Amino acid sequence: MNANKPIIIPIASGKGGVGKTFISINLSYALASLGKKTVLIDVDFGGANIHTCLGYDIAPDGVGNFLNQKNMRLEDYLLNTSEPNLRFIPGDAEMVGIANISNAQKKKLINQILTLDADYVVLDLGAGSTYNTIDFFMMSAFSIIVATPELTSILNAYALLKNSLFRLMYIDLKKYPDVKDIFTTHMKVGGESAWKISDILNKVFEVDPELHAETLAMIDSFNPKIIINMAYQPKDVSMGEKLRKISKTYLNIDMEYLGFLYRDKIVEQSITERKPLAILAPNSTTYQTIIKMAYKIINAKKMPYFLLDIENYDDSLEILLEEATEDLSSRIEGYDKLANENLLSINELLSIVKNLEYENLSLKRRVEELEEEIRKFKK
């Protein structure tokens, strides 16, 4: 990864109303408060509202104006915030045509995002699985999905993951005619089986084992994070585990938890008063949890920068994927298998916790062994 480029953090959700923008704003403040130069950009085309949450009554010029002006740079639209390390770019929600940007405009915006003087650029994306959302979501391996502990939210988050991964695979495989035919035929079959990555991978292996290995490596690079928001009780974490299990079973994706936030009256007050928690209630439990998320991001393993090459940002997959999937449950035959409340039992959740504890203990022991070997070597 080019050290001069900022790390991109796209934040998306399968459906609206899950607190995505709230998290985008406060996570940006948290990163900035930890000394990182951060830029927050409203990329919710047609529904931009970050400026409102930050106290602006009228949307200043931003992304929409930039896309429709020839001689302007994205950095020309940077606005300061109350946090010295944080600047933001609004989205121009009221500008005509902003909701349907062209591929040329998309590439222009992506290229300009990468030139910003920042350590981190947080992208507040639109809800759902539109192509614009997917393409910006796939800009980075640091992508985050926000969901609530409700079945519809989890299924729509899965829809976003599925459409994103299928787009990534299609772009990678379309240059191989035989494999491309396998992919398109499989997608047209419909039903639950059409959503299983493993079935496609098996067919790819039959055609070209080396390409199969390459595709597996590409899928491994897709490592999105999940935040469960607006939880009522600790057991709501099981809904996030459902998403992780469905994603592993059907998409071969290993998701990571970034955080778990409870419903909090201070959040409602923050939205009503249009003040981030960093200003209104920096010592609140919710904001301190978001600070912990920021620490995880800063200390995360650096992964491959681009998931999609910028030259492949086109609409060639339009005939294969449904646009703006808002309710996966109404589109997948046999979806009730995914929705079954027994998908992740209490015993399975306990098993997951025990495995994590065992892995943690094993790592600690290995660290101690290495430290002892180092001490012996120094002697």
295 and 373 share one domain: no
- Indicate the pLDDT class of residue 69, thresholds 50, 70 and 90: confident
Domains in the chain: how many in total? 2
In a domain, 335, yes or no: no
Neighbour order of strands in the sheet with 144-147: 79-80, 86-89, 38-43, 120-127, 7-13, 144-147, 225-231, 256-262
152 and 56 share one domain: yes
Residue 304 pLDDT greater than 60, yes or no: no
In a domain, 340, yes or no: no
362 and 252 share one domain: no
232 and 276 share one domain: yes
Average pLDDT of every residue of the chain: 78
271 and 300 share one domain: yes
120 and 178 share one domain: yes
pLDDT tens digits for range 85-128: 999 999 875 554 555 678 888 889 999 999 999 999 999 998 87
In a domain, 243, yes or no: yes
183 and 97 share one domain: yes
In a domain, 316, yes or no: yes
DSSP calls for 179-212: HHHHHHHHHHH-SGGGG-HHHHHHHHHHH-HHHH
In a domain, 317, yes or no: yes
192 and 282 share one domain: yes
240 and 367 share one domain: no
pLDDT tens digits for range 241-254: 888 888 888 888 88
257 and 353 share one domain: no
User: Which range marks the domain in which residue 371 is found?
Assistant: 345-379
In a domain, 49, yes or no: yes
Query: What is the CATH number for 251?
Result: 3.40.50.300
CA distance to 103, 167, 326, per residue, from 319 (Å)? 17, 11, 18
SS3 of 226, please?
A: strand
In a domain, 338, yes or no: no
